[in-house]
């Protein structure tokens, strides 16, 4: 029988780790592309995977940082990056799996950041921002270190998927759905919006300067 | 009749908001120039407007961060960025107003950062640094995200205007002028130095390498 | 007679300051190369020299930050940067001295970051990371501000030297060598690995993508 108190947290933790793996892969791939050495690739993988959560915990004064007490994060990232660097030539078709993992990570990171802020009694608007923050800052820092213009700010449904999920959660709570299912509906909404955006090539408009 | 206890804080808050608007405009304009989408432009506007204060509060262990309790910041930035993106083609001559707003922001941000550090009994030298930090880190982060070499480190009287204002404040206090007018003189000095530098094209020398 | 309680800390502080000077020089040189003005060069020197320790202290919730209470850091950096900018043309052959100073700084910064984390009862793995963090984040931020791809992530024995020193310390402790000499052996290992890597052009492999 499923323990209702533990089950959601365990599932969220597993989804979180899938997101961590996705970010470690994305960071390592870009770092390799830039010609970084083994240690440099691991560092970029770390920044991509735990950079957003690190800055979120620092901004919210949550100490020690989440990866300082749960060593699984650092171990999973290091192992993922090393395995990818050593065996990558065996798996050149990693792209589709990465997009799937990445969408899972986007959803899990958003839910975690959103709930952490709500647990600190911050305003719902700030909680929505913290969900976005947790989900995107790692990728932003990766692109900054690798001297790339951040792709996720350009034409990707990424920030908006995270916001859509948070707003769904807030609406469900406002309407009285206070069960712990709300965060799974939030997870599902973010994942679905992101996957649909990839499938149908949705993107936000960018209003270009006339001149 | 003017309430002497409240008046300076209200005025400083208004000047702060003018600076926030200026930074949100500057961030949005650069992000549009880089082809970012609507959400990306809002994010860069946020970073530009509250990035410096965020890192200052994190460095000084002031929690919750200023924009987490006063939602006006996030609302003003989002509204400014959206309005600019939607209606920008109607106001192509925004440049001179922006420079004026930006100088007001430089002055207000410097005063706020400087006073926050003094309130924590930090050394005057550190307070001067915190004024500079609050005033420029946001613009620095904006340029970093947009993959630009920070203009303000190149040939602008920007850091020096902030320092000039802080030093004026410290001298006035040292000479015994302990009234609350000191921070307005500081505000005025920074604003004046910045506007004069723009008007007469002042800039700090950069001592180039011979070879 | 040498005071055993004080001596190691004083020596470490001196080595730390040598590292600070090396970072201030490296930051100023790159900023000059980019055409930054005097204030911009000082800012980059600050970021390079105390950026890593600042973010480490913020991540570990150590307040006030180390340079806010000990003003020597800011003074040494400012003086180093100014002297270099004014007199640089007199000393064009600074390169070899800089590499030596930089290796001393790498060792001192690593030991300091590593021990700060151990003092907070963090896991040894996290302490190794904090040694690397303190030693490299400053240089990383310098390269990011100057819009350069970080060299230290590419083909330099830098992160690995820091890790080699930390692991040596942990092994010595594990084997029962609990004297205060351990940290000097750690210092020596990092310095030696770095200098040997420079001398014999060692570097970590980077596993390039096939395609």
Contacts of C103 (CB under 8 A, 6+ apart): C190, C191, C194, C195, C198
Q: Where are the alpha helices (DSSP H) in chain C?
A: 7-33, 38-59, 66-69, 72-87, 95-119, 124-145, 159-174, 182-200
Whether the per-residue pLDDT at C94 is higher than 70: the answer is no
Residue A122 contacts B, CB cutoff 8 Å: yes
Q: Which of A153-162, A183-192, B33-42, B87-96 has the lowest mean pLDDT?
A: B87-96
Full-model pTM? 0.88
User: Which chain A residues have a beta carbon less than 8 Å from that of B89?
Assistant: 210
Average pLDDT over residues C93-105: 79
Q: Would you say B18 and B80 are in contact if contact means Cβ atoms under 8 Å apart?
A: no
pLDDT at A2 over 80: no
Where residue C35 falls among pLDDT bands split at 50, 70, 90? confident
| Beta-carbon separation of B140 and C145 below 8 A | yes
Give the residue from chain A lying closest to B65, CA to CA: A59
- Which of C51, C48, C81 is CA-nearest to residue C65? C51
In this prediction, residue A181 carries a pLDDT of 85
Are A104 and A191 within 8 A, CB to CB?
A: yes
What residues of A are in contact with residue B62 (Cβ under 8 Å)? none
Cβ neighbours around C11 below 10 Å, total:
14
Torsion of CA C24, C27, C32, C34, to 10 degrees: -170
**Three-state SS letters, A130-181:** HHHHHHHHHHHHHHHHCCCCCHHHCCCCCHHHHHHHHHHHHHHHHCCCCCCC
> How much is the average pLDDT of A61-83?
95
Whether the CA torsion A142, A147, A153, A157 is positive or negative: it is: negative
Chain C interface, best mutation among B206, B209, B210, by max C CB count within 10 A: B206
**How many Cα atoms sit within 13 Å of B36 on the Cβ side?**
28
User: Is the confidence at residue A184, as pLDDT, over 80?
Assistant: yes
C150-168: pLDDT as tens digits: 878 877 788 999 999 999 9
ipTM of this predicted complex? 0.86
Amino acid B91: pLDDT: 59
Distances (CA, A) of C35 to A44, A211, B154, B205: 28, 29, 6, 10
Radius of gyration of chain B (CA): 17
What is chain A's mean pLDDT, rounded? 87
Residue A73 Cα, gap to closest chain C Cα (Å): 11
* Substitution target from C125, C153, C157 for chain A, most A beta carbons within 10 A: C153
Average pLDDT over residues A31-50: 92
Contact yes or no for A159 and B43 at CB 8 A: yes
Yes or no: say if C32 and C122 are a contact pair by the CB < 8 Å rule. Answer: no
Q: Cβ contacts (< 8 Å) between B154 and chain C: which residues?
A: 34-37, 40
Q: Please tell me the least confidently modeled range out of A11-25, A78-92, C26-40.
A: A78-92
| Cβ–Cβ contact B68 with A under 8 A | yes
pLDDT tens, chain B, 211 aa long? 344 445 568 888 998 999 999 999 999 988 988 889 899 999 999 999 999 999 999 999 999 999 999 999 999 999 999 999 888 765 566 667 778 888 998 999 999 999 999 999 999 999 999 999 999 999 999 999 999 888 788 777 889 999 999 999 999 998 988 777 888 899 999 999 999 998 888 877 766 544 4
Calculate mean pLDDT across residues A60-85. 94
Tell me how close the Cα of B10 comes to any Cα of chain A, in angstroms: 23
Average pLDDT, chain C: 87
Q: How confident is the model at residue A6 (pLDDT cuts 50, 70, 90)?
A: low
Query: Based on the number of CB atoms within 10 Å of its own CB, is B5 exposed (0-12), middle (13-18) or buried (19 or more)?
Result: exposed
Q: What's the pLDDT at B141? A: 94
Residue from C126, C150, C163, C56 nearest A142 by CA = C150
Q: Check pLDDT > 60 for residue A132.
A: yes
Strands (E), B24-136: none
Residue A81's pLDDT is 95
With contacts defined as CB-CB under 8 Å, which chain A residues touch C211?
A: 92
At A102, the pLDDT band (50, 70, 90 cuts) reads confident
Q: Cα torsion at C134, A56, B82, A140 (round to 10°)? A: 50
Q: What is the largest CA-CA distance in chain A?
A: 64
Determine the pLDDT at residue C210.
Answer: 45
Nearest residue on chain B to A148, alpha-carbon basis? B147
Å between B143 CA and nearest CA of chain A = 10
Question: For a pLDDT cut of 90, what percent of chain A falls above it?
Answer: 59
Average pLDDT value for residue range C126-142:
94
Q: Does C31 touch chain B (CB under 8 A)?
A: yes
Substitution target from C30, C40, C92, C137 for chain B, most B beta carbons within 10 A: C40
Nearest to B86 among A147, A207, A210 (CB): A207
Q: Which phi-psi region, left, alpha or beta, contains residue A150 (left: φ > 0; alpha: ψ -120 to 50)?
A: beta
Chain segment A165-180, per-residue pLDDT in tens:
999 999 999 898 877 7
Sign of the torsion formed by the C-alpha atoms of A11, A17, A21 and A24: positive
Q: Buried b vs exposed e over A187-202: b needs ≥16 C-beta within 10 Å? A: bebbbebbbebbeeee
Contact: C89, B210; criterion CB under 8 Å: yes
Confidence grade of residue A1 (pLDDT, cut at 50, 70, 90): very low
Mean pLDDT lowest for which of A92-106, C40-54, C109-123, C191-205? A92-106
- Taking the Cβ of residue A45 and every Cβ of chain C, the question of whether any pair is shorter than 8 Å is answered with no
- Contact with chain A for residue C60, Cβ under 8 A: yes
Rounded to a whole number of angstroms, the distance from the CA of B14 to the nearest CA of chain C is 29
């Amino acid at each position: 029988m499923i323990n209702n108190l533990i089950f959601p947290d365990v599932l969220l933790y597993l989804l979180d780790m899938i997101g961590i793996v996705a970010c470690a892969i994305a960071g390592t791939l870009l770092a390799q592309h830039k010609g970084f050495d083994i240690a440099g690739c691991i560092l970029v993988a770390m920044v991509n995977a735990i950079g957003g959560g690190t800055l979120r915990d620092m901004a919210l004064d949550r100490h020690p940082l989440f990866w300082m007490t749960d060593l699984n994060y650092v171990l999973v990232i290091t192992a993922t990056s090393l395995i990818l660097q050593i065996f990558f030539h065996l798996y050149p078709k990693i792209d589709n799996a990465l997009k799937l993992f990445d969408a899972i990570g986007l959803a899990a990171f958003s839910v975690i950041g959103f709930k952490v802020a709500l647990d600190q009694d911050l305003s719902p608007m700030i909680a929505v921002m913290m969900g976005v923050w947790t989900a995107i800052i790692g990728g932003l820092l990766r692109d900054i270190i690798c001297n790339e213009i951040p792709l996720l700010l350009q034409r990707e449904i990424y920030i908006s998927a995270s916001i859509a999920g948070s707003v769904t959660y807030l609406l469900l709570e406002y309407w009285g759905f206070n069960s712990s299912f709300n965060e799974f509906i939030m997870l599902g909404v973010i994942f679905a919006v992101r996957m649909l955006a990839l499938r149908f090539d949705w993107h936000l408009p960018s209003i270009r300067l006339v001149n």
